[in-house]
Amino acid sequence: MPLETVSEVRAHGGTQGVYRHDSSETGTPMTFSVFVPDHAPGDRLPVLWYLSGLTCTQANVTEKGEYRAACREAGIIFVAPDTSPRGEGVPDDVDGAYDFGLGAGFYVDATQAPFAQHYRMASYVTEELPALVAEHFPVDPARQSITGHSMGGHGALTLALGRPGRYRSVSAFAPIVAPSQVPWGEKALAGYLGEDRAAWRKHDAVALIEDGARVPALLVDQGDADAFLENQLRPELLEAACDATGIPLELRMQPGYDHSYYFISTFLAEHVAWHARQLVG
């Protein structure tokens, strides 16, 4: 699969690159970033996928995440895809709102017109992009983990819960844990998947756990000064679901932190180290 190099720079004992390709899943060009730490020739490295939140592209975490030193120390490749298809002819929210359409793909494969043609972010993130990355970078496909922020935290949780054994570990920053029960999620799931709420359950972390999905453990960081905490994120619902089913959840409420990349950058290296314990060795 052809890959265009947008940029490559030296950073923290590795190479930080940004790349573009024509996606068969979305029918559009897609851009993503990859950090590859220095390694011996022939080595195959584990990979940590990072899914971004509403309004973001791959650039937000690439420029603000502060993960490279930790990935170099652990020997982990870090991959950050975009959050939605983009380009001429890609449908957007009719009112131009930030929480649906461009920049808000919600990591689902849309079934509703006009979004079904391009908004196939679940298949893109779990199938097409991993195959492309494995072709062009020294990854070990058997050692993958996933994390994300907000909408991307929702994506990380649901993609891992829905694909047993695919990811060795999963974590999240301020995730939308129960999109079926909050305004962001209700708008997105209805728009992409239709009004049948039963079809939403496999895209809702709390519902997936209620329906029998399991992961070995979860790490979630949440700022207690996050403006979206009570209405959109509701980590207490994830905590209750994990308590009821025996999933070990480390929910860390971080005093004074908000929803921004100041919060994420503070704790992202700790998440890399947490994933490394499952990925390395």
Catalytic positions, please? 150, 226, 259
Secondary structure (H, E, C), 72-141: HHHCCEEEEECCCCCCCCCCCCCCCCCCCECCECCCCECCCCCCCCCCEHHHHHHHHHHHHHHHHCCEEE
**Gap between the Cα atoms of 231 and 83, Å rounded:** 22
The structure tokens 């972010």 sit at 121
Q: 176, 178, 216, 180: which is closest to 198 by C-alpha?
A: 180
Q: Which two tokens stand for residue 137?
A: 């970078």
The strand order across the sheet containing 249-254 reads 4-11, 14-22, 29-37, 77-81, 45-51, 139-148, 170-173, 218-223, 249-254
**Gap between the Cα atoms of 138 and 66, Å rounded:** 22
The structure tokens 């939605």 sit at 84
Query: Are 2 and 21 a contacting pair, CB within 8 Å?
Result: yes
Neighbours of 212 (CB within 10 A): 8
**2 CB-near residues (< 8 Å, 6+ apart):** 21, 22
